[in-house]
Chains A and B, each alone.
Chain A
Amino acid sequence: ETGVTQTPRHLVMGMTNKKSLKCEQHLGHNAMYWYKQSAKKPLELMFVYNFKEQTENNSVPSRFSPECPNSSHLFLHLHTLQPEDSALYLCASSPTASSLYEQYFGPGTRLTVT
């Protein structure tokens, strides 16, 4: 596989569930990102990892917990979510966090919280 992949593509979960989103990049990049995309709103940056270290937490509620075990993989652990957390969650990668001239996005996970 090439590029940035995300699994699952669709997820429905109840407010008391715990689930995880996975992102994998095959581009040899060192920076990875989580974005939230809601209808009629700009993309919201959630987290940034650069060389496996978290460099940005954009005031994201603690019910979202990121994990970056290596430069190729990024997870977003979800627990006790709210209905307003329903959105498309996009993963992206770039060569480094200071090289946004080339950022690649995954297809996203469509999350529905019931």
Chain B
Amino acid sequence: AQTVTQSQPEMSVQEAETVTLSCTYDTSESDYYLFWYKQPPSRQMILVIRQEAYKQQNATENRFSVNFQKAAKSFSLKISDSQLGDAAMYFCAYSRTQGGSEKLVFGKGTKLTVNP
């Protein structure tokens, strides 16, 4: 089965510190996208960062960066200089192709708490 595993149901970090959220996935495809989505409490899910599997270079978006290890099927998210507004559920996902269309497969999420 093609799955996404987020092994940390909850994480906490002190404001201004760095935290890393783990994600592993299982796919037989060679070309796919990987994503981290953020869902703040009672607010809509937004894309944080995405990575194209054929690119070796790790994606970065300001304070957010990923460590993509394709052979290990690992895709962790590092948040630097954590801010109170980073508190949210974080979902890892990858896109897979089925029947000519792409579908996102999500993990169960990691709840991040930022302590002042």
Which residues of A pack against B, CB within 8 Å? 3-4, 40-43, 45, 48, 50, 55-56, 90, 97-108
CB-contact partner of B106 in A42, A97, A101, A107, under 8 A: A42
- Asked if A98 and B101 sit within 8 Å, CB to CB, the answer is yes
Closest-by-CB residue of A relative to B91 is: A43
Query: Which segment, of B14-22, B42-50, B74-82, faces chain A?
Result: B42-50
Q: How many residues of chain B have a CB within 8 Å of chain A?
A: 26
> How far apart are A106's CB and chain B's nearest CB, in angstroms?
6
CB-contact partner of B45 in A42, A48, A90, A98, under 8 A: A90
Closest-by-CB residue of A relative to B100 is: A98
- Asked if A101 and B95 sit within 8 Å, CB to CB, the answer is yes
- Asked if B44 and A108 sit within 8 Å, CB to CB, the answer is yes
Contacts of B105 in A (CB 8 A): 42
Interface core residue of B45, B46, B50 (most chain A CB under 10 Å): B45
- Asked if B99 and A42 sit within 8 Å, CB to CB, the answer is no
A63 and B39 CA atoms in complex are apart in Å by 28
Tell me if B84 counts as interface (CB < 8 A to partner A): no
> How far apart are A104's CB and chain B's nearest CB, in angstroms?
8
CB-contact partner of B107 in A42, A50, A99, A106, under 8 A: A42
Tell me if B26 counts as interface (CB < 8 A to partner A): no
Given A43-B91, A55-B99, A108-B44, A103-B108 contact (CB < 8 Å): no
A21 and B101 CA atoms in complex are apart in Å by 24
- Asked if B104 and A103 sit within 8 Å, CB to CB, the answer is yes
Encoded as 1 (CB less than 8 Å from any A CB) or 0, chain B from 27 to 60 comes to: 0000001000100000111110010100000000
Contacts of A99 in B (CB 8 A): 102
> How far apart are A101's CB and chain B's nearest CB, in angstroms?
5
